[in-house]
Amino acid sequence: MEVLEAIRTRRSIRQYKNEPIPPDVIEKLLEAGRWAPSASNSQPWGFIVIADAELKRKVSRSFVFGHFLAEAPLGIAVVVDPWRTPCAIQDGTLAAYAIWLAAHALGLGACWINPNISRGIKKILCIPATKKLICILSIGYSAESPVHTRRKLQGFVYFEKYGNKEGPISFRQG
Ligand SMILES: Cc1cc2nc3c(=O)[nH]c(=O)nc-3n(C[C@H](O)[C@H](O)[C@H](O)COP(=O)(O)O)c2cc1C
């Protein structure tokens, strides 16, 4: 899939087919995360592959908006070490997005689950207190086709200085 098309057509997928993800495909997802950019190439991340059904259930129950993880064949937690770089959160977010986009390009669907409003998730996954959990990506073969819109470029693109909407591009997108 072409990159621009992948960016545009990726959606948050929360319903999955009962179909396992082959190990070589999981490796491709992890490889996509590995090649994400990071500040000073610090690569401050760790990825936890969560495939065990009971563990997925336990993790999913700790979320407010992520119960669907229990039905997904795979979860990938993205963890960063904030002591390694002041940009660890940005780095981890980029790695997670690379995995998310790769999932879409490989014919899978994924959704970011926000761990900040979860109960006890770090303990369940044995993540040390010094590390920061960026997200859990819930991943599987999609069983839904959600539609989402975006604000129009005219609404938030400025030229030369914030607030100035006069510029050389007449936006064409619908
Ligand atoms: C930082 C962040 C946190 C998110 N947290 C959750 C979440 O906890 N649960 C969930 O179902 N979706 C979550 N999402 C998915 C968003 O709801 C989704 O990306 C947004 O509605 C746009 O839809 P789309 O991804 O299909 O384009 C999160 C996305 C981001 C970027």
Helices 23-34, 88-105: axis angle to 10 degrees equals: 140
Is the CA virtual torsion 114, 116, 121, 125 positive or negative?
A: positive
Residue type at 35 in one-letter notation = W
150 lines ligand 1 (CB under 6 A): no
Q: Which of 10, 17, 7 is nearest to 68 (CA)?
A: 17
* φ and ψ at residue 68, rounded to 5 degrees: -65, -15
Q: Among 65, 112, 136, which residue has the most ligand 1 atoms within 8 Å of its CB, making it the best to mutate?
A: 112
d(CA 38, CA 32): 13
Q: Dihedral of the CA atoms 60, 66, 67, 72 (nearest 10)?
A: -80
The pair of structure tokens assigned to 60 is 């999913």
Mean of the per-residue pLDDT values of the chain = 95
Residue 166, Cα to own-chain centre: how many angstroms? 34
Q: Among 8, 69, 114, which residue has the most ligand 1 atoms within 8 Å of its CB, making it the best to mutate?
A: 114
Q: Among 9, 111, 121, 137, which residue has the most ligand 1 atoms within 8 Å of its CB, making it the best to mutate?
A: 111
Residue nearest to atom 29 of ligand 1 (CA): 112
Q: Which fold does the domain 3-155 belong to in CATH?
A: NADH Oxidase (3.40.109)
Give residue limits of the domains in the chain: 3-155
pLDDT (tens digit per residue) in 104-155: 999 999 999 999 877 799 999 999 999 999 999 999 999 999 999 999 999 9
Non-local (6+) Cβ contacts of 24 within 8 A are none
133 lines ligand 1 (CB under 6 A): no
d(CA 149, CA 64): 24
Give this prediction's pTM.
0.97
Mean pLDDT value of segment 1-30: 97
Residue 55: strand, helix, or coil: helix
77 lines ligand 1 (CB under 6 A): no
Query: In this predicted structure, what is the pLDDT of residue 174?
Result: 58
pLDDT (tens digit per residue) in 42-93: 999 999 999 999 999 999 999 889 999 999 999 999 999 999 999 999 999 9
Residue nearest to atom 16 of ligand 1 (CA): 12
Query: In this predicted structure, what is the pLDDT of residue 100?
Result: 98
Query: In this predicted structure, what is the pLDDT of residue 119?
Result: 73
* pLDDT at 4 exceeding the cut of 80: yes
